[in-house]
Amino acid sequence: MNLKVLILPGDGIGAEVTREAVRVLQTVARKFNHDLTLTEGLLGGVAIHKTGTPLPEETSKLALEADATLMGAVGLPEFDNAPPAQRPERGLLGIRKILGVFANLRPVRTYAALIDSSPLKNALVEGTDMIIVRELTGGIYYGTPRGISGEGDEERAVNTMAYTRAEIVRVTRMAFNLARARRRKVTSVDKSNVLENSQLWRRVVCEVAPEFPDVQLDHLLVDNAAMQLVLNPRRFDVLLTENMFGDILSDEGAVLAGSIGMLPSASIGDRKPSGAWVGLYEPVHGSAPDIAGQNKANPLGAIGSAAALLEYSFGLKREADAVSAAMEKVLNSGNVTADLRPKGTPATTEQVGQAVCAAIE
Ligand code: IPM
Ligand code: MG
């Protein structure tokens, strides 16, 4: 198979972790006889430096041409005070929108070898296995009107949380379909006791649910969901929620997996005529500028994202499973980065990537 993949390393540790994910893709391509065609593009702070904009047109074009896009992370402290439209993050929001990847899948599971890495009690996190389905191209991150206006005491900031029925329906169907291949339970998270937006969300989710009579549905308010995630994480199978709630809850979920460095994500949209999903794959973690360039970052979130790319955009389940098995082998060996609090000397980013490749071979 010919795999045309766009790489967007982005900022901070993005370059280091994607380098290892690319190494893994190359190993898989060699071992399973695929042709891998890689292109590279600019996104985020690095794009602002080189072109003046976080999402250059060239990058959008490359992403639309590629079969799948693998991304590192975006964001740099030097842009902390820049207006939202001139920040690296805007590039990421832009490319998600251009690709139409409306469902962000963030699997959270505990690995036996990492059970001590979670700050939570072992008995509590053990056996956690959920997938957070975060709506990704709507809601308050995109809604208009938005902006800051006025002066002095009258200075005022506005953001808008908006969803259409169609946007809720498609991501809900995605969540229910995923649940069918799992424990058949969807928990929809909203704030319907306060927000009209959430009232529509809940109503539409309830309307879609009967299409999937074999899947159980329940609802949680987002504040309670935040608590249940750390009180009783095993209660969750598929957690379906809107953009901002999903952003927040998935960082919380990362604690259950031992480290946010472990979490992969797949952002998918509609199917292409070939049957493959349009997809953008990125670790959940940020650009971690404090440790950038030090060969310390955990590449497993990025490598897990590469596995998701193989599975969803190319239907290469066997290859994806080989990557997951290799990751597990490396975790069991204890040869892991500092964030996972290994007993001995922490491994470097590169060593972890190489170990995963060796395990695939
Ligand atoms: C994430 C990140 C991004 C988001 C930022 C960098 C814009 O936090 O993918 O979770 O909010 O979606
Ligand atoms: Mg986030």
DSSP 161-188: ----HHHHHHHHHHHHHHHHTTTSEEEE
Catalytic residue among 4, 97, 111, 251: 251
Best mutation site among 142, 241, 247, 281 for ligand 1 pocket (most ligand atoms within 8 Å of CB): 247
Average pLDDT on 220-232 reads: 97
Q: Is 223 a catalytic residue?
A: yes
| pLDDT in the model for residue 62 | 97
User: CA-CA distance, 95 to 116, in Å (whole number)?
Assistant: 37
pLDDT for 272: 78
pLDDT in tens, 8-21: 999 999 999 999 99
The residue-averaged pLDDT of 273-293 equals: 91
Mean pLDDT to the nearest integer, 25-41: 98
Q: Tell me the average pLDDT across 318-342.
A: 95
Q: Which of 10, 17, 13, 8 has the alpha carbon at shortest distance from 48? A: 10
Q: Which amino acid is at 158?
A: V
Residues with CB under 6 A from ligand 1: 74-75, 89, 92, 247, 284
- Of the residues 223, 270, 290, 321, only one is catalytic, namely 223
pLDDT at 287: 97
pLDDT bracket for residue 28 (50, 70, 90): very high
pLDDT given at position 81: 94
52 touches 90 (CB < 8 A):
no
**Residue 96: predicted pLDDT:** 97
Please state, for a pLDDT cut of 90, what percent of the chain lies above it: 90
pLDDT-based confidence at residue 106 (cuts at 50, 70, 90): very high
The full set of domains in the chain, from first to last, is: 1-107+257-361 (3.40.718.10)
Pocket test for ligand 1, best of 43, 92, 285 (most atoms within 8 A of CB): 92
Q: How do 185-190 and 238-241 pair as beta strands?
A: parallel
User: Going by CA atoms, what residue is nearest to atom 4 of ligand 1?
Assistant: 247
pLDDT at 77: 97
Averaged pLDDT, 208-225: 98
Proximal ligand: closest to the CA of 92: 1
Say what percent of the chain tops pLDDT 70.
100
Which atom of ligand 1 is found nearest the CA of 247? 10
Q: What is the pLDDT of residue 65?
A: 92
Per-residue pLDDT at 115: 87
Confidence of residue 294 (pLDDT cuts 50, 70, 90): very high
The H-assigned helical ranges of 33-134 are: 45-51, 57-65, 88-99, 122-125
* The pLDDT of residue 343: 86
pLDDT digits (tens, 9 = 90+) for 174-190: 999 999 999 999 999 99
**Residue 5 confidence class, pLDDT cut points 50, 70, 90:** very high
- Which of residues 216 and 272 earns the better pLDDT score? 216
